[in-house]
Structure 1
């Protein structure tokens, strides 16, 4: 009620009281006249309140009943507010309908999930890709409809920085990619894309690389064997052939390293590691890697140190872990100048277990860091060729960590050295 309306009500009530007192004075009954006047006013007010309640409860969308005075203003104001809210709701509903129509036209599935994990809304593609049924599945928990253990772990863990690729719950021949985004007060938006074609192409690439690498091993072994035989009999060999044969041996060995890395990558990508997990003590492994790195350093005389803090037991595959850790240590040796410092540091805390390999070598520019784990990516191709690198070492490290639910963190600045940190989750601690 506005200030003017309130003043008018008080004025009317005051006039009623004065009129009742005047009439009561004339008939010599002022008290009874005042009581009757106020009672009449109260009855009229209750009547207007009754009409107001009846209108709101039974006919809220119809025009308000006729009324005079303040109650007429109240009826008209509320009616105008209702009409304005109705127009606003209509506009909002039109926007919602348009958004739902556009998302329904998407080929990717879109699913809205509340903070408790229950389904709120989905488009037609979700019914086709995930088998959701309208309205039977509305309000169901998403884990009751997508029962793959990998999805349940992914959804419950809450780390949605990377998408998840698994088979469709209704068709094992369909490969789906799940990407979840948080919004609002804990709600989640899940977008599901059919990546079967990309998955098949990637599988074809992996099979091709693995088959070619495997087939090349036999002829390459023959070539290496004959080259070594010729070099062993260098007294009977023409001196002009010695240098070409040495270069052939060097490049053959380099090709063998490349094939071995390719085969290891193929095995990491295709095999199931869960059956191979064991309780690994990384302390002797790291000491062995430190000694191998010192031997690799040779005349460069790097200072390689090892520091171990906390629990050194890790649930994993020993061969894969050794391959990843040695790749990091040997890379540090290859890209650190003579007499440089290389530190291997293992520690354990509440978040899990970690290995850091730190050097004071040439460092890496920021634009290269995100691509270091790609196959054959080289910051400086000439430098990598001179050091004998295959370009697959960090790709192997990345895949080993993924198979152990870990991640690789790279900290580096050009000219200031690099630090490669392997993070393993706490659940990997036996």
Structure 2
């Protein structure tokens, strides 16, 4: 539109009024001629408005806007400007629709189920794979509450929370024999993009791996017990011999005993992990007094420290108990404290603190030992992960301690926070939720 259309309208109105005023003077009827001019101008303006309204109404019902009505002057500029804006908007709409079509085509080609919900948790769209994996049906399920269609308690709890950092492993609503991996992304005003991936094969492989490790560990325990027994007998025989037939025999027997004990510890840890992964998490649940439990572990840690003269201090700021399995909690806490003893140099300090803050329990084991490079921290709880193989060989570690800690805490709805720097020691904090805290009875 011409930037001077306002002045053009005023000039046209001034010309009409001036011409009517001149004719009024000539015919001595100024008022009448001015009124006629205003009426004519108003009628012409109303006609242009009616033409504009009719054109806009007809164009809105069509995908392609009609040509604008023929007009002159400022109204012609208005019609042309609106038409150009409509054409521009039409091209923009076509481009956006093309992008949406490509996105829908790409998601339709995915083998994973994709579901989109609005801020009210109502299903707005899903791809064809969702019908096969989740059993959704069109158009009946459109606009339905997703938690009414996928009713598994774990999914409902996962969906209603606002943090989706970790994916959810859940059974398929179509078949209990299939396992799905669900991940949710928030976008816009509480809208959700939900991705379901068939995780059945990986789940089966993981289960086969766990069963294999458990079975092999169980089968190795009996022959290892026999070997250990004979080695103890042989070691006792060597001790009472006045002169061993082979000079290196005492050293060889000692090394065999050491390695057999190490292998026995590995098998015990593997069996413990297998039990944690398969046993019912609600088994033998009772209020556990952490101060009493930790005090007994600290005494064992002092014995383990021996001549290293570690200064081990336990501070208890609260008497709150933990609702859980005492044997499992002892295994996790002892692993953390014994690790601190193993990796802290002679004369080092080890502090254990139990406190409750903001309805959350914190058990912290801190040392001033050799520390760990931050790049290794995310993988510390993996099985057999070793920061330094030579260090594990010298301390006799199995590489399974922190994996056991992780599984015990998961079974108690707790998390493990690790902070460490090389040469500055390490800090391991077990964070227990309010649901696991129990006030000590008077």
TM-score normalized with structure 2 length: 0.92
- 1:287-326 Cα deviation digits (max 9, x unpaired): 2221211111111110011112235222222221111111
Q: Determine which of 137, 140, 144 is the counterpart of 1:140.
A: 144
Partner of residue 17, structure 2: 17
2:350 to 342, 360, 371: 342
How much has 1:394 moved relative to structure 2?
0.5
Distance 2:432 2:240 in 1: 56
Count of residues paired in the alignment: 430
> What aligned pairs does 1:109-120 form with structure 2 within 5 A after superposition?
109-120=113-124
Is the Cα–Cα contact under 8 Å of residues 348 and 367 in structure 2 kept in the other structure?
A: yes
User: How far has the Cα of 1:54 moved from its partner?
Assistant: 1.5
Deviation readout 1:116-172 (Å, 9 max, x if unpaired)? 322222111111111112222222222112111111122222221111111111111
Q: Does 1:312 align with 2:304?
A: no
**For residue 180 of structure 1, what is the aligned residue in structure 2?**
184
428, 436, 439: which one pairs with 1:420?
A: 428
1:209-247 Cα shifts (integer Å, max 9, x gaps) = 101111122222222233334445556446534443333
Moved over 6 A (4+): none
Q: 1:376 is matched with which residue?
A: 384
* Residue number in structure 2 paired with 1:67: 71
CA offset at residue 259 of structure 1?
Answer: 0.9
| Structure-1 residue corresponding to 2:55 | 55
Contact 1:311 1:348 in 2 (8 A): no
Tell me the residue number matched to 2:413: 405
Does 2:253 match 1:253? no
2:31 equivalent in structure 1: 31
1:258-297 superposed Cα distances (whole Å, 9 cap, x missing partner): 1110011011112220344332221211122212111111
The change in CA–CA distance for 1:238 and 1:244 in structure 2 (over 3 A counts) is farther
Corresponding residue number in structure 2 for 1:301: 309
Q: Does 1:391 align with 2:399?
A: yes
Structure 2: which 5+ runs fail to align? none
- State the alpha-carbon separation in 1 of the partners of residues 130 and 291 from structure 2: 49
Match of 2:7 in 1: 7
Aligned-partner Cα distance in 1 for 2:239–2:108: 79
CA distance in 2, matches of 1:263, 1:245: 27
Contact in 2 for aligned 1:363/1:416 (Cα 8 Å)? yes
Any idea what SS the aligned residue of 1:106 has? coil
Q: Could you say what secondary structure the match of 2:140 adopts? A: coil
Alpha-carbon separation, structure 1, partners of 2:213 and 2:354: 34
Q: Secondary structure of the residue that 1:274 maps to in structure 2?
A: coil
Matched residue, 2:95: 91
SS at match of 1:215: helix
Tell me the CA shift for residue 332 of structure 1.
Answer: 0.3
CA distance 1:146–1:275, change in 2 (3 Å): farther
Q: Does 294-303 or 350-359 show the bigger shift?
A: 350-359
Structure 1, 207-216 or 377-386: larger mean CA deviation: 377-386
Of 164-173 and 179-188, deviating more is 179-188
C-alpha distance in 2 between matches for 1:409 and 1:297: 25
Counterpart position of 2:134: 130
What is the alpha-carbon distance in structure 2 between the residues aligned to residue 238 and residue 227 of structure 1? 19
SS of equivalent to 2:379: coil
Counterpart of 1:105 in structure 2 is 109
| Structure 2 equivalent of residue 219 of structure 1 | 223
| Range with bigger deviation, 317-326 or 306-315 | 306-315
Q: 1:268 aligns with which of 276, 285, 292?
A: 276
> 1:42 maps to which residue?
42
Q: Give secondary structure in 2 for the equivalent of 1:28.
A: coil
Cα RMSD between the aligned structures? 1.8
Q: What displacement does 1:328 show?
A: 0.4
Tell me the equivalent position of 2:158.
Answer: 154
Equivalent of 2:340, from 332, 355, 363?
332
Shift, 1:401, TM fit: 1.5
CA distance in 1 between counterparts of 2:47 and 2:318 reads 81
What does residue range 207-246 of structure 1 map to in structure 2 within 5 Å?
Answer: 207-232=211-236, 236-237=240-241, 239-240=243-244, 241-246=249-254
- Calculate the TM-score normalised by the size of structure 1: 0.95
Task: Point out the more displaced range, 198-207 or 289-298.
Answer: 289-298
